Amino acid sequence: MLTQHQFGLGLRKPHYADFLDGEATVPVDFVEVISENFMVEGGRPLDILHRVRERHPVALHGVSMSVGSADGVDPDYLRRLRSLADAIDPLFVSDHLSWSRIEGFNSHDLLPVPYTQEALDIVSANVARAQDVLGRPMLIENPSSYVSFTGDMTEWEFLAALCARTGCGLLLDVNNIFVSATNHGFDAIAYLNGIPAERVRQIHLAGHSQGRDLLIDTHDKPVPDSVWSLYAAALARLGPVATMIERDDDIPPLADLLHELDVARRVAVDEKRLAA
Amino acid sequence: MSLLALQRDFRQWLDIESAEAAARIGEHAAPGLSVYLNNYRSALMACLAESFGSVKAWIGDDAFEGAAATHIERQPPYSWTLDDYALEFPETLDAIYVADPEIGELARLERELGRIFVGKNADPLDVATFADIDWESAKIDFVPTLTMIEVTTNAASIWSSLAEDKRPPDAEMLPRPASVAIWRVAFMPTFRTIEDSERQAIEALAGGATFSALCATFVEAHGETEGAALAGRLLSQWIADGLIAHIRAQSFQPDNRAARTCKNDYRVAE
């Protein structure tokens, strides 16, 4: 459990030198890396991760666990992730409420899960299995989605039930809530009110783009005002969390992202004042 | 619809753009399914473009895009890591460019350079321990990233020119097929075109032969002076290239003539 808000950034290749060179450390409380990029045997990327880890706590964020797969989670994947986690001693290990693999086919995308009792049983079993292998609780991130299904419950009800069944925590992606709420016409505030606030350990903030018919979760722009507003609303409900800016494309200089992170810090301070 | 049935339909949509599968997924799902289809193809295309930058530069953007599209059609991704998606692209290029074998060979070289970039590390060889080595029983462990590919063209020269932003040579067949040894020194992938004799020596040692057995083979093939000199030259070259991870030896046994000959020769070469 965190005792106060923390603020971090995704560690991306253009910023490796910023994080490793010089005497001064980058002013972040933690960094997050994409787990799969470092689930390798050796070489420079892994060396860089170990050197960054000497300076900062590291959160491992996966994109390929596929906890929504009807045919289960890949044991080889879990073993490799466990090995990385043992080496890094991460702040968190997280992945998405989605699926990417089925029967030997891997889409390498975060595909949506229907919010049905059957899917809840399968996802719960997969998350429980992953946590057993990893030897630690995971954080599950709410996805952005472009297709919705008729289900037995809402996404936030599904996440609440998943947390209750498996003991996992939540990585709340505020941008994803905004994107999915816009695409599927649900109330983002109702979402925030429906999630188990005490399970939220981490927050992602990012930008999105307007596609032809739908909002697309592109992570290639600064966090927009609409997402900052939703972030403020989220913080009003949550205890101390680790907030980070997630930028994966059109990556700007590190100084720009640190500036955005300062905005997050100010929002947190303002929320604390309001609460007092 | 069960979760498994839904996921099979999604697979069919992404893999073969099945309209029937799309219809089963949802009446109003078309805009969203287009987004997922675009994401799927973009990710695979980007993976191939990133993994095979030299091939792309050699054949041009349009031809590369066409080859990548063919590969995406014939080879759906199966692994949890996108890195694995690059592995079979050279075979697709072989099938498309039957008359241009340098393209597949360039891709194989590039694939291996990418693969070993994240391969197992090796500690630097401690040359100070050489004085104690019993060369008769010595076995050589090459660095774990060492791999070899066969080439019939000047693909290695083409790659080097492209990597240095120089005008690449025209593609041409080599006088005879050769091999390229590819390995990593510290964190830097590197390669060298090698003769058949060197390839056979590496394969023999990697297969568990002792250095003295290799020497004996060379002495038998080339005579005592030239055979021993060849073994010594190769050993010196491998050490200088950072190809050797360890030299393992049992106790010193001084009465093996071939081993003594090679040992002496190595000292001269050193």
CATH number at residue B170: 3.90.930.50
DSSP A213: S
pLDDT of residue A37: 97
* Chain B contact set for A43 (CB, 8 A): 116-119, 121, 184, 187
Average pLDDT over residues B174-196: 96
Question: Do B257 and B194 lie in a common domain?
Answer: yes
For residue B44, give the chain A residue with the closest CA. A108
Q: At residue B253, does pLDDT exceed 80?
A: no
- The answer to the question of residue B106 being in a domain is no
Which pLDDT value is given to residue B250? 60
- Chain A residues within an 8 Å CB radius of B85: 108
Task: Report pLDDT for A257.
Answer: 97
Per-residue pLDDT, B74: 93
Number of domains present in the structure of chain B:
2
Q: What is the pLDDT of residue B264?
A: 42
The residue among B102 and B251 whose pLDDT is bigger is B102
End-to-end CA distance of chain A: 22
What pLDDT score does B266 carry? Answer: 41
Q: In terms of domains, do B173 and B229 share one?
A: yes
Which of A42, A71, A111 comes nearest B120 by C-beta? A42
User: Is B108 within the bounds of a domain?
Assistant: no
One-letter amino acid at B177 equals P
Residues of B in contact with A74 (CB under 8 A): 80
- pLDDT value, residue B131: 76
Looking at the structure, tell me whether residues B26 and B87 fall in a common domain: yes
Q: What range defines the domain where residue B40 resides?
A: 1-99
Same domain, B131 and B265: yes
Structural domain boundaries in chain A: 6-213+231-242
- CA-to-CA separations, A264 to A191, A206, A243, A271, A274, in angstroms, rounded: 21, 11, 8, 11, 15
Q: By three-state DSSP, how is residue A99 classified?
A: strand
B125 vs B121 pLDDT, higher one = B121
My answer on whether B139 and B94 are in the same domain is no
Q: What is the ipTM of this complex?
A: 0.94
**Can you give the pLDDT at residue A273?**
81
Position A249 confidence tier, pLDDT thresholds 50, 70, 90: very high
Q: Report which residue type is found at A163.
A: C
Q: Residue B252 above 70 pLDDT?
A: no
Q: CB of A173 within 8 A of CB of A141?
A: yes
Please compute the mean of the pLDDT values over residues B219-246 and round it to a whole number.
Answer: 93
Q: Which residues in chain A (16-55) have CB-CB distances under 8 A to chain B?
A: 36, 39-47
Q: What is the pLDDT of residues A27-68, one digit of tens each?
A: 999 999 999 999 999 999 999 999 999 999 999 999 999 999
Burial of A23 (0-12, 13-18, 19+ CB in 10 A): exposed
Does the distance separating the beta carbons of A44 and B11 come in below 8 Å?
A: no
Does any CB of chain A come closer than 8 Å to the CB of residue B7?
yes
| Section A78-97 average pLDDT | 98
- Per-residue pLDDT reduced to its tens digit, B28-67: 999 999 999 999 999 999 999 999 999 999 999 999 999 9
Is B127 in the same domain as B243?
Answer: yes
Residues forming a β-bridge with B178: B151
- The answer to whether the Cβ–Cβ distance between B81 and A147 falls below 8 Å is no
In this predicted structure, the answer to whether residue B133 has a pLDDT above a threshold of 90 is: no
Would residue B198 count as lying in a domain? yes
On whether both B259 and B140 belong to a single domain, the answer is yes
Choosing from B99, B133, B165, the residue where a domain stops is B99
B59 and B21 in a single domain? The answer is yes
Same domain (yes/no): B138, B91: no
Q: Stretch B188-194: mean pLDDT, rounded?
A: 96
Top pLDDT among A99 and A25 is at A99
Average pLDDT, chain A: 96
Tell the burial category of A76 from Cβ atoms under 10 Å away from its Cβ (0-12, 13-18, 19+): exposed
Considering the domain architecture, whether residues B93 and B137 belong to the same structural domain is answered as no
Q: What residues contact B102, with CB distance under 8 A and at least 6 apart? A: B58, B153, B154, B155, B158, B171
pTM of the model: 0.93
**What is the pLDDT, as a whole number, of residue B267?**
38
Residues A49, A38: contact at Cβ < 8 Å? yes
Fold of A6-213+231-242: TIM Barrel (3.20.20)
Mean pLDDT of A116-144: 98
The backbone torsions φ and ψ at residue A141, rounded to the nearest 5 degrees and listed phi first, read -100, 135
pLDDT at residue B129 tops 80: no
Instruction: For B14, name the nearest residue in chain A, comparing CA atoms only.
Output: A107
Whether the predicted pLDDT of B254 surpasses 50: no
Q: Enter the tokens of residue B4.
A: 């498994």
CB contact under 8 A, B117 and A44: yes
